[in-house]
Amino acid sequence: MSGNDQGHPPELAHHFDSMEEQHESSKQGMWLFLATEILLFGGLFCAYAVYRSLHPEVFIYAHQYLDKVLGGINTVVLITSSLTMALAVRAAQLGKRKHLVIFLALTLLGACGFLGIKYVEYSHKWHLGLLPGIHYDPVEDSHATESRAHPDGGEPPQDSSPTVTEAPEHAIELDVGAGLTPARAADQPLPEPEQYTAPTSELTAAPAGPAGLAVEAYGNDAHDLGPEPRLVQLFFSIYFLMTGLHGIHVLAGMAVISWVLVRSAKGHFRPDYYTPVENVGLYWHIVDLIWIFLFPLLYLIH
Amino acid sequence: MNDHVHVMSLRVLFGVFGALLVLTVLTVAVTWVDLGSFNLLIALAVAVVKAALVALYFMHLRYDKPFNALALVGTLLFVALFIGFALLDTSASSPGLIPGHQPAMDAKAAERSG
């Protein structure tokens, strides 16, 4: 059977023998694309792993600002939208056009819900100044004061004078590792010392005596979080990069779901031609799959 | 003409969905119990099981040609290599890569200073 047959389906490209072959090739290409997506996120997961292995105390301290319940709800929302996507593919295979449209619309709704909750979380962090890098400027609100338990009465970090920022430099002399001090001093501009750290708590975080004391404070009891460790802003860099890249994928997913939704409504798909639905479905599932790892790694740190 | 199409049964799809919900509740609940370093292991194990369910059933990998599964598993293998070697490297040769308070380094420093 050759592609020159007059009676072949209009979607069949001439270099494929059959719709089945075309479908399988397309799906194979989609899987190779998904492989590159996993590699893309792999870089961020690597940054996460390296930083967490070097600074477990920062992760234990910072994750308290992430809402487990909102994260859990978002996980359920995404899993549900994955189910409706799988049901949409099923409807396409069975030629149930109305069901296909309904399930795609539900999937889109789930994506909106996910981003809505994500917006609530992001704006909460924005208001608390829990932002990446030099933008990290935590504000004391009632919740934060309660949970952060500043030994000196929750004095806002803004009040600290520039001289207090010298404390970390002093503490670092205890570390025998090479290149510790210059990296911090060079990376960040000195004129705005208040912007990049919360020095108030540094005074207690940086051990003046044997450094082993600090290990006990951070390592042994996860619930007694103690004073803020250094470089908490790097956790938020990782958090915003990972969830942000994931969020961009959700947006891209919404765009392609909308595209197949319109085509479904127009009746473009039949049981022997639903490749776009299936490939969009695969993309949406990988978005869910990545969140399945992001959720425990960012929200459920113990 | 589309006898080759494998349609997922509703029972399997909803079964997988239920399992994913149960595992999500489980992984949240386990954070309220202190199991030391096992907490991270359990969280990752649950995530791997959930990911496998999504890949095998929602993404239809179990019924596909093995090439697609090979693409996924191969990629994960390389990501594991990447992260594994990066971790070995940072812990062995440059623990001071990221400045800041580092319990492991501090312990070493305390040891050396007696």
**Mean per-residue pLDDT over chain B, rounded:** 84
Q: Which residue has the higher pLDDT, B7 or A219?
A: B7
Beta strands in chain A (DSSP E): none
Write the pLDDT tens digit of every residue in B45-99: 999 999 999 999 999 999 998 999 999 999 999 999 999 999 998 877 766 666 6
Task: DSSP letter for A63, please.
Answer: G
Let me know: does A247 contact A78? Beta carbons within 8 Å. Answer: no
- Residue in A52, A59, A103, A176 to test binding to B, most B beta-carbons within 10 Å: A176
Q: What is the DSSP string of A266-289?
A: TT--BTTB-HHHHHHHHHHHHHHH
pLDDT of residue A243 exceeding 90, the answer is yes
Rounded average pLDDT over B24-36: 88
Higher pLDDT, A237 or A228: A237
Give residue limits of the domains in chain A.
Answer: 38-131+233-299, 139-227
Nearest to A57 among B47, B86, B103 (CB): B103
Check whether A277 has a pLDDT greater than 90: yes
Tokens of B46: 């649950």
B 12-71: CB under 8 A from A = 13-14, 16-17, 20-21, 24, 27-28, 31, 34-35, 39-40, 43-44, 46-47, 50-51, 54-55, 57-60, 64-65, 67-68, 71
Strand partners, A270: A273
The answer to whether B4 faces chain A, any CB pair under 8 Å, is yes
User: What is the per-residue pLDDT for B96?
Assistant: 64
Distance CA A289, CA A250 (A): 12
- In angstroms, the CA A232 to CA A85 distance is 38
pLDDT at residue A1, rounded to an integer: 46
The residue among A231 and A260 whose pLDDT is bigger is A260
Q: pLDDT per residue over A149-172, tens digit each?
A: 444 433 444 443 333 333 343 333
Q: Which of B47, B76, B112, B8 shows the shortest CA–CA distance to A85?
A: B8
Q: Do B55 and A49 touch (CB under 8 A)?
A: no
User: How many Å apart are CA A293 and CA A245, to the nearest integer?
Assistant: 14
Looking at beta carbons, which residues of chain B come within 8 Å of A298?
A: none
Distance from CA of A142 to the nearest CA of B (A): 23
DSSP β-bridge partners for residue A273? A270
Choose among A177, A181, A170, A158: nearest CA to A205. Answer: A170
- Name the closest residue on chain B to residue A228, using Cα atoms: B101
Inter-chain CB pairs, A–B, below 8 Å: 200
Q: Are A226 and A147 in contact (CB under 8 A)?
A: no
What is the Cα–Cα distance from A240 to B112, expressed in whole angstroms?
38
- The encoded tokens of residue A135 equal 């933008």
Look up residue A97 and give its amino acid. R
Nearest partner of A199 among A237, A230, A235, judged by Cα: A230
A251 residue type, one letter = L
A26 versus A228: the higher-pLDDT residue is A26
pLDDT at A56: 84
pLDDT at position B98, please? Answer: 62
| Dist. CA A72–CA A121, nearest whole Å | 12
pLDDT tens-digit profile of A34-58? 999 999 999 999 999 998 888 888 8
pLDDT tens per residue across span A137-148: 777 644 444 444
Give dist(CA B15, CA B12) in Å, integer: 5
Task: Verify whether the Cβ–Cβ distance A54 to B87 is below 8 Å.
Answer: no
CATH number belonging to the domain at A38-131+233-299, selected among 1.20.120.80, 1.10.760.10, 3.40.50.720, 1.10.10.60: 1.20.120.80
Cβ within 8 Å, pair A53-B47: no
Q: What is the pLDDT of residues A63-107, one digit of tens each?
A: 888 888 999 999 999 999 999 999 999 999 999 999 999 999 999
| pLDDT value of residue B3 | 53
